[in-house]
C-alpha cells in the first residue's frame, strides 16, 4: 500500500546538512497497525507528516499503491490526502471558530456525505466519546483531553483507509487513553490501516508492528504477537 524508498529529509545549515530522516526504507501493507516509537527528536512526527502527504520537502521516493507521490501535482496529492487519510495531530488543530459538532463534520463535508448520514455519524461519535453535551461548545471551552477526543472523532468520522496519529493519547488520562486504543483496535479490525507515533509502550501492544526510530533512522522493526 505504502512504500518509502531511501527517504532523506534534511535542513541546510550554514556549514553542513542536518539530517532529520536518513535512508528510510519502509513498506506498510493494507491492514497493518504500526507503532512508531523512539526518543524525542528521533523523527517520528516528521515521518508521519511525510506518510500523510503533509510534507513534500524530502528526497527519495514515496509510492502509494501504483502511484508515485513524489511526482504528483500538489492538487492530486491534496486530494489523495483528503480521500484516504485521517490525521490526528499532536496539537489538535481544531478550528477555533467551529463548534465541536462542526469540527467533526468537516471531513464529511469534504467527502460530500449526505446530511442525514452526517448527522448519524456525528451523533454516534459524540456518544462514543461522551461528548453529546459539549457538541455546541467551541474548542477553547474544552479541556486539553476533550479537544484531543474531538480531534480523534474528526479524524475517524470520514472512515479513512489510513489513520495517522501523533501521540494520540498524550493529553488523556489512562482510562481515556485505553478507550482510544480500543477504538483504534476496532477500526483496525474493520480494515483501517493505522500508523501511530507514541511514547507509551502499552499503546504499541494494541498494534501489529513496532518500529523503533533513532536519530532519523529505523533502528528496529518487529512484529507484535498477541497471545
Ligand atoms: N522544519 C524543521 N526545521 C528544523 N528542524 C526540524 C524541523 N522539523 C523537525 N526538525 C528537527 O528534527 C528532529 C525530529 O523531529 P520530530 O518532531 O520528527 O521528532 P519526534 O521523534 O516526533 O519527537 P517527539 O517525540 O518529541 O514528538 C528534531 O530534532 C527537530 O527539532
Task: Give the residue carrying C-alpha cell 456518544.
Answer: 127
Nearest CA to ligand 1 atom 2: 11
> Is 226 a residue whose pLDDT tops 80?
no
DSSP string, 112-168: T--HHHHHHHHHHHHHHTT-GGGTTS-GGGS-HHHHHHHHHHHHHHT--SEEEEEST
Distances in Å between the alpha carbon of 209 and those of 129, 142, 149, 177, 194? 27, 34, 24, 19, 10
Residue-level pLDDT at 95:
93
Half-sphere exposure for 8 (CA within 13 Å, toward CB): 9
pLDDT in tens, 208-217: 999 999 999 9
Nearest CA to ligand 1 atom 26: 40
Question: How far is the C-alpha of 42 from the C-alpha of 44, rounded, in Å?
Answer: 6
Nearest CA to ligand 1 atom 29: 41
| Stronger pLDDT, 101 or 82, i.e. the higher one | 101
**107 Cα: distance to centroid of ligand 1 (angstroms):** 27
> Is 227 a residue whose pLDDT tops 90?
no
Chain-centroid distance of CA 172 in Å reads 16
What value does the mean pLDDT take over residues 39-51? 95
Sign of CA dihedral 173, 175, 178, 180: negative
Share of the chain above pLDDT 90, in %: 76
Residue-level pLDDT at 171:
75
Global pTM reads 0.90
* Cβ 199 vs Cβ 167: under 8 Å: yes
Residue-level pLDDT at 199:
92
**24 Cα: distance to centroid of ligand 1 (angstroms):** 15
pLDDT in tens, 170-183: 878 888 888 889 98
* 2-223 fold: Rossmann fold (3.40.50)
Q: Verify whether ligand 1 is closer than 6 Å to residue 45 (CB atom).
A: yes
Residue-level pLDDT at 191:
94
Residue-level pLDDT at 174:
86
DSSP, collapsed to helix, strand or coil, labels residue 63 as strand
**132 Cα: distance to centroid of ligand 1 (angstroms):** 36
**216 Cα: distance to centroid of ligand 1 (angstroms):** 9
Chain-centroid distance of CA 87 in Å reads 4
**Cβ count near 182 (within 10 Å):** 11
Q: Verify whether ligand 1 is closer than 6 Å to residue 40 (CB atom).
A: yes
Distances in Å between the alpha carbon of 136 and those of 7, 42, 101, 118, 149? 43, 39, 6, 16, 15
Chain-centroid distance of CA 158 in Å reads 13
pLDDT in tens, 126-168: 998 889 999 999 999 998 888 888 998 999 998 899 999 999 9
ipTM over 0.85: yes
Q: Verify whether ligand 1 is closer than 6 Å to residue 9 (CB atom).
A: no
**Ligand 1 atom nearest to 36, measured from its CA:** 21
**74 Cα: distance to centroid of ligand 1 (angstroms):** 24
The CA radius of gyration of the chain, in Å to the nearest whole number, is: 18
Question: How far is the C-alpha of 2 from the C-alpha of 28, rounded, in Å?
Answer: 5
| Stronger pLDDT, 220 or 175, i.e. the higher one | 220
Amino acid at each position: 500500500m505504502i512504500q518509502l524508498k531511501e527517504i532523506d529529509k534534511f535542513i541546510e545549515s550554514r556549514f553542513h546538512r542536518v539530517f532529520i530522516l536518513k535512508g528510510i526504507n519502509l513498506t506498510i501493507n493494507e491492514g497493518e497497525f504500526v507503532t512508531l516509537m523512539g526518543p524525542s527528536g528521533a523523527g517520528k512526527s516528521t515521518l508521519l507528516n511525510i506518510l500523510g502527504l503533509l510534507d513534500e520537502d524530502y528526497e527519495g521516493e514515496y509510492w502509494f499503491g501504483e502511484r508515485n507521490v513524489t511526482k504528483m501535482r500538489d492538487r492530486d496529492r491534496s486530494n489523495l490526502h483528503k480521500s484516504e487519510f485521517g490525521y490526528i495531530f499532536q496539537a489538535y488543530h481544531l478550528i477555533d471558530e467551529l463548534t465541536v459538532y462542526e469540527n467533526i463534520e468537516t471531513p464529511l463535508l469534504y467527502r460530500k456525505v449526505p446530511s442525514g448520514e452526517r448527522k448519524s455519524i456525528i451523533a454516534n461519535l459524540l456518544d462514543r466519546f461522551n461528548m453529546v453535551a459539549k457538541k455546541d461548545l467551541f474548542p477553547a471551552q474544552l479541556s486539553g483531553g476533550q479537544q484531543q477526543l474531538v480531534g480523534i472523532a474528526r479524524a475517524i468520522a470520514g472512515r479513512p483507509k489510513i489513520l495517522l496519529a501523533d501521540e494520540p493519547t498524550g493529553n488523556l488520562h489512562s482510562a481515556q487513553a485505553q478507550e482510544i486504543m480500543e477504538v483504534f483496535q476496532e477500526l483496525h479490525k474493520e480494515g483501517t490501516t493505522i500508523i501511530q507515533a507514541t511514547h507509551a509502550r502499552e499503546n504499541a501492544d494494541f498494534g501489529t508492528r513496532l518500529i523503533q526510530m533513532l536519530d532519523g533512522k529505523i533502528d528496529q522493526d518487529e512484529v507484535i504477537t498477541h497471545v
